[in-house]
Amino acid sequence: MVVGLDIGTTKVCAVIGERNEKGILEITGLGICPSTGMKKGVVTNIEATLRSVTTAIEAAEMMCGREVHGCWTGIGGSHIDGINSRGVVTVSGKNRETREIGPADLSRVLQIAQEVVIPMDRQVLEVIPQSYIVDNQKGIRNPLDMLGVRLEAEVHIITCSSTGAQNLINCVNRAGFHAQLILQSLAAGRSVLTEEEKDMGVALVDLGGGTTEMLVYSEGAPYSTTSIPAGTELVTRDISIIKGISFENAEKIKIAAGCCWESLLEGEDVIIPGIGGRPTIPIPRKHVLEIIRPRMEEIYRMVKEKLDKLALARPLGAGIVLTGGGAMLSGAAELASYIFKMPVRVGNPLPLPGLAEEYCNPVYATAIGLALEGNDRETGGGDERGGEKSGGGKGGDFLRIGKLVDWLKKEFF
């Protein structure tokens, strides 16, 4: 059994998957609960977050009839940062002319590549190989068993706030579940992106409630990780303030009648609930669009500013993929295509056994991706890059050992 837990600003979602007799992951349980203890990816109220986590996991347990003990928990927010690094080693071997690259060489080069200087209050979350170079031969995805003398690894290192990560782990642990962390946008990409899109180059934009996360893939591997401290919760707040209604009613209006592309406007007027016994007020949907569109444009332009600063080797051939709850907003893809000047699509989770059609939407993409990514790491899966993810595959062995040593020191010394 594999459990993915997505703790966001507005919701907590738990997904339970079980491997069938063919080793394929089937979704057997899903639970969702409003989130009140998170803000922009950071825990602000441990007790409130704990309750939301417990409620969501219990709902998933009831659906599948199994008891959860551990989960793969997503982490995101403005404290996430990504850097690119490179490591170089000499291939070990008795005969210089027939040096064969083995798992130990991969582990050594990844270890050296991640030895970068980071602030004391930060920790390494993921180490993901982008490509390998063997004796100046570039673009190698998996050098295992190749012959060579000099091995280089280009990696993408994702770091996070140590206190932010520990607070998140503490919340889940206090709820009675053992937590292991995975980057949210990496999990969302696992759920909605195809290998062809990653190879061509694509920017995954996760429109969450409190933050907007961007993960850029270039030539099949993560190249840049960015988080923007603005999400679609701002859209709801704008509607609430301008129309003088409660945040809850503004959220309902955004979901039911929200639109940010004028040609898609249709339907009857929107009914604005009265406050304190006052009568309801009907307004044209265009008025709601005039509130929503400027804020969505602002968020997209903040993302575009980050994207334009990247020194990519080639343009993003697959364009932009939107996911997260904000991608459900009518006209979100059309407005994004207008702002970014490239193809845009809404990223729904790729088909999975047991996944009901009602859950095949961007709201559940991260939670489903966490279950898939967790399954890959537990079974040693992944792509052909020779164990590219920390915590999974051959290249992640030394990281797992390091975490075990840290835990033993903390518990017994």
What are the tokens at 262?
């004028």
CB 5 within 8 A of CB 20: no
Classify domain 81-160 at the CATH class level.
Answer: alpha beta
The predicted model gives 252-264 an average pLDDT of 90
Nearest by Cα to 347 from 319, 371, 327: 327
pLDDT higher than threshold 60 for residue 72: yes
Distance, CA of 253 to CA of 261 (rounded, Å):
16
Beta strands (DSSP E) in 297-407 are 320-323, 344-346
For the four alpha carbons of 300, 304, 305 and 310, in that order, the dihedral sign comes to positive
Please state which of the ranges 15-29, 41-55, 265-279 shows the lowest mean pLDDT.
Answer: 265-279
Q: Is 201 left (phi over 0), alpha (psi -120 to 50) or beta?
A: left
Question: 382 falls in which pLDDT band (50, 70, 90)?
Answer: low
pLDDT beyond 70 at 407 = no
Residue bearing the bigger pLDDT, 413 or 248: 248
Q: How many CB atoms lie within 10 A of CB 61?
A: 17
- What percentage of the chain carries pLDDT values higher than 70? 91
Tell me the pLDDT band of 399, cut-offs 50, 70 and 90: very low
Please tell me the predicted confidence (pLDDT) of residue 94.
57
pLDDT at residue 115, as a whole number: 87
Cβ neighbours, 10 Å, residue 351? 8
Query: Per-residue pLDDT averaged across 60-80, rounded?
Result: 91
How far apart CA 386 and CA 405 sit, in angstroms, is 24
CATH number for region 233-296: 3.90.640.10
What whole-number distance in Å separates Cα of residue 79 and Cα of residue 350?
29
pLDDT digits (tens, 9 = 90+) for 169-181: 999 999 999 999 9
> Where are the chain's structural domains?
81-160, 233-296
Residue 393 has pLDDT above 70, yes or no: no
Nearest to 158 by CA among 226, 82, 217: 82
pLDDT at 406 over 70: no
What DSSP string runs through 269-315? PEEEPPSTTPPPEEE-HHHHHHHHHHHHHHHHHHHHHHHHT---SS-
Mean pLDDT computed over 36-60: 88
Counts for the chain of helices (H) and strands (E), in that order: 11, 18
Distance separating alpha carbons of residues 376 and 19, to the nearest angstrom = 11
Q: What pLDDT score does 74 carry?
A: 93
